[in-house]
Amino acid sequence: MTTMLLMLAASGEGGDASPFAVNFGLFFWTWLVFLALMFLLQKFAFPAILKATEDREQTIARQLDEAAKANAEAKALLEENRKLLAAARGQAQALVAEAKTAVEKERSTAIDKTRHEQEELLERARREIAAEREKALTDLRREAVDLSLAVAGKLIGQKLDGASDRSLVEGYLASLERVQ
Amino acid sequence: MMLQEAVNVGEMVLHHTADACSIDVYKWAWHIPGCHLNYPIDATLAPTKHVVFLFIAATLVFLTLWTAARSIAKTKTGHAPKGFAGAVEGLVLWVRNDIAIANIGHGGARFAPLIITLFFFILYGNLLGLLPHGSSPTGNLAVTAALAILVFLVIEIAGFIKLGPKGYLATIFPHFPGLHGPGAVAMAIFMSPIEVLGKLVKPFALAVRLFGNMTAGHFVILSLFGIVFLFGHLGVWSWGIGIGTALLVVGIMGLELIVALLQAYVFALLSSVFIGLMQHEH
C-alpha cells in the first residue's frame, strides 16, 4: 500500500511538472483529434440520427395534420347531419301541419255541403208539403162547393150548377174561412 | 518511514493534474514512445498522456454516437429508438435544438455538428479524469485553448461570411446611432481596441473556465487524498481518517460528475451564444 502511494506520488517526469504548463504541441493534437472526430461523426453518425428524427418529426406532423383534418371532417359531417335532421324534422312538421289543415278544410267543406244538402232537402220537403196542402185544400174546397150546391139543389128542387151559384157558395165559404 | 515525510502533497497534486509522459495503471507504467516534456512551455509535437487521452475520448465519443446511429438507422421510420440509442438521441437532440439552434437562432442547424461534437468531446474528456488512473485532457490549458481558438475561428469566419466585409468591419469599428461626421469616425477608432478585445476575451474565457473547473476539481480531490498522507500515521485515528477522507472524496466525486456535465454544457452553450451574437450582429 505504502509503496503504491509512493509510486503514485512519484510518477511523472519529476521536477517542475505543473498543470499550468503549456505545451503548444497539444494545440495541434487537439485540433487534429477534434476535427477528425467531427468529420467522422458527420460521415457516420449525425446523418442517421438527424434523418431518423426528421423523418419521425415529419411522420408525427403528418399524423397530427391527418388527425386534425379527420376531426374537422367529422365535425363538418356532424354539423351537416344535424342540419339535415333539423331540416327533415321541419319538413315533417310542415307536412303534418299541411295534412292537418287539409283534413280540417275537407271536413268543414264536407259538413257545410251536408248541411246545405240537408237544408235543401228540408226546404223541398217543406215546399212539397205546402203544395200538397194547397192542392188538398183546393180539392176540398171544390168538393165542398159541389156538395153544398148539391144539397142546396135538393132543398130547392132545382139544379144549381151555374157559375153564379158557384161563386155564391164560394163567397160564402170564403167568408167562413175569414171568420175562422 | 512516515508517509508525510516521503510525500510532498502539493507536489503530488501538481504531478497528477499535469500532463505526463507515462500512463500509470496500478503498478505498471507505460512510457509513451517518443514523449518528452519540457516545463513550463513546450512546443514539440511529441505525444503525451493528454494526447493519448484525447484519442481515447474521441474514440469513445465516436463509438457512442456511431453505435447509437446504427441502432437508430435500424429502427422503423416514425418510431423512436429505445434504450441506449434513445438516450444518446435524446442528448444529441437536446444539444442540437436547445443549445445550438436555440442560441444561434436562425441558421443554427449548420453549426449543430460542431456544437454536438464539442459537447460530447468535452464531456468525455472531463469524465475520463474521474476514472481511476484516468486523466482529463480538458484539464490542460493547451487543449481548452485549442478548442476555444477553434470556436473563435468559427465565430469570426462564419460571421464574416454572414455579414460580408462591410458588416464584419462594423463589428470592429462600431457605428453609433445618431453620430455623424468626424465624431463618428473618432468614436469608431477609439472603440475598435475594445471591440477587438471583446472578441478575444470570449474564447479566452471559454478556455480558462473549462481548464480551471477541471483542474480545480482534481486539486480538491487530490488535496483531500493528501489528508491520508498527512494524518495517516496517527495510529489510533488512522481508520477514522481513512473513512472520513473516502466519504469526502466520494462527495466531491459526485460533485465533479455534475461539474463535468455542466462544463461541457457551458462550453457548448457559450460557443452557441457567441456564434449567434456574431450571426445576428447588425
Residues contacting residue B186 through CB under 8 Å, at least 6 positions apart: none
- Per-residue pLDDT band for B32 (boundaries 50, 70, 90) equals confident
CB B187 within 8 A of CB B179: yes
Residue at grid coordinates 454516437: B65
- Residue A8: predicted pLDDT: 44
* Rounded Cα distance, B152 and A92, in Å: 81
Cβ within 8 Å, pair A30-B114 = no
- Beta bridge partners, B22, equal B31
- Residue A127: predicted pLDDT: 93
* Rounded Cα distance, B32 and A12, in Å: 12
Lowest model confidence (mean pLDDT) among A21-35, B67-81, B88-102: B67-81
- Residue A123: predicted pLDDT: 94
Q: If you average pLDDT over every residue of chain B, what do you get?
A: 89
Q: How far is B134 from chain A (nearest CA, A)?
A: 13
- Per-residue pLDDT band for B27 (boundaries 50, 70, 90) equals confident
C-alpha cell at B35: 514523449
* Tens of pLDDT, residues B161-213: 999 999 899 889 888 888 888 888 898 899 999 999 999 999 999 999 999 99
CB B281 within 8 A of CB B104: no
Cβ within 8 Å, pair B58-A36 = yes
CB B275 within 8 A of CB B111: yes
Radius of gyration of chain B (CA): 23
Residue B107 has pLDDT above 60, yes or no: yes
C-alpha cell at B16: 497528477
Residue A159 has pLDDT above 50, yes or no: yes
Greater model confidence, B161 or A178: B161
Tell which residue, B221, B224, B222, has the closest CA to residue B254.
B221
- Residue B2: predicted pLDDT: 52
Residues contacting residue A88 through CB under 8 Å, at least 6 positions apart: none
Hey, where are the domains in chain B? Answer: 48-279
- What does residue B244 show for φ and ψ, rounded to 5 degrees? -60, -45
* Rounded Cα distance, B125 and B98, in Å: 22
Residue B242 C-alpha from the chain's centroid: 32
- Residue B12: predicted pLDDT: 82
Choose the mutation target among A13, A18, A65 for the interface with B, i.e. most B CBs under 10 Å. A13
Mean pLDDT over A41-65 rounds to: 89
Mean pLDDT over B143-168 rounds to: 94
- Per-residue pLDDT band for B65 (boundaries 50, 70, 90) equals very high
**Which of A25-39, A41-55, B18-32, B163-177 has the largest mean confidence?**
A25-39
Residue A141 has pLDDT above 80, yes or no: yes
Lowest model confidence (mean pLDDT) among A88-97, A132-141, B37-46, B131-140: B37-46
Apex CA B144: angle with CA B143 and CA B149, to 5°?
100
- Residue A78: predicted pLDDT: 95
Question: What's the DSSP call for residue B76?
Answer: P
Tell which residue, A49, A168, A93, has the closest CA to residue B71.
A49
Interface of A with B in 18-37 (CB under 8 A): 18-31, 33-37
- Residue B3: predicted pLDDT: 54
C-alpha cell at B212: 480551471
Mean pLDDT over A44-68 rounds to: 89
- What does residue A22 show for φ and ψ, rounded to 5 degrees? -120, 125
Q: Which residue of B has its CA nearest to A2?
A: B3
Q: CB of A60 within 8 Å of any CB in chain B?
A: yes
Q: Which residue of B has its CA nearest to A17?
A: B15
Count of CB pairs separated by less than 8 Å, A with B: 198
Cβ within 8 Å, pair A19-B66 = no
CB B281 within 8 A of CB B163: yes
* Rounded Cα distance, B161 and B181, in Å: 28
- Per-residue pLDDT band for A9 (boundaries 50, 70, 90) equals very low
Residue at grid coordinates 150546391: A149
Pairing state between β B22-25 and B28-31: antiparallel
- Residue % of chain B over a pLDDT of 70: 97
Mean pLDDT over A166-175 rounds to: 80
Q: Which residue of B has its CA nearest to A6?
A: B7
Interface of B with A in 104-163 (CB under 8 A): 113-114, 116-118, 121, 137, 139-143, 145-147, 149-150
* Tens of pLDDT, residues A64-109: 999 999 999 999 999 999 999 999 999 999 999 999 999 999 999 9
Q: What is the ipTM of this complex?
A: 0.90
CB A13 within 8 A of CB B20: yes
Interface of B with A in 65-84 (CB under 8 A): 65-66, 68-70, 72-73, 75, 77-81
Give the three-state DSSP class for A136: helix
A117-141 b/e with 16+ CB inside 10 Å = b?
A: eeeeeeeeeeeeeeeeeeeeeeeee
Lowest model confidence (mean pLDDT) among A34-38, B229-233, B238-242: B229-233
- Per-residue pLDDT band for B61 (boundaries 50, 70, 90) equals very high
CB B217 within 8 A of CB B253: no
Q: Provide the angle, in degrees to the nearest 10, between the axes of the packed helices B83-93 and B49-74.
A: 110
Q: How far is B149 from chain A (nearest CA, A)?
A: 9
Cβ within 8 Å, pair B68-A60 = no
Residue B282 has pLDDT above 80, yes or no: no
Cβ within 8 Å, pair B12-A9 = yes
- Residue B1: predicted pLDDT: 45
What residue type is assigned to position B51 of the chain?
A: V
How deeply is A162 buried, as exposed, middle or buried, from its count of CB atoms within 10 A (0-12, 13-18, 19+)? exposed
Residue B164's region, left for phi above 0, alpha for psi from -120 to 50, else beta, is: left
User: Cis peptide before B40, with omega less than 30 degrees from 0?
Assistant: yes
Question: What's the DSSP call for residue B107?
Answer: T
Lowest model confidence (mean pLDDT) among B2-11, B20-29, B141-150, B223-232: B2-11
Tell which residue, B31, B35, B33, has the closest CA to residue B22.
B31
- Residue B201: predicted pLDDT: 96
CB B230 within 8 A of CB B4: yes
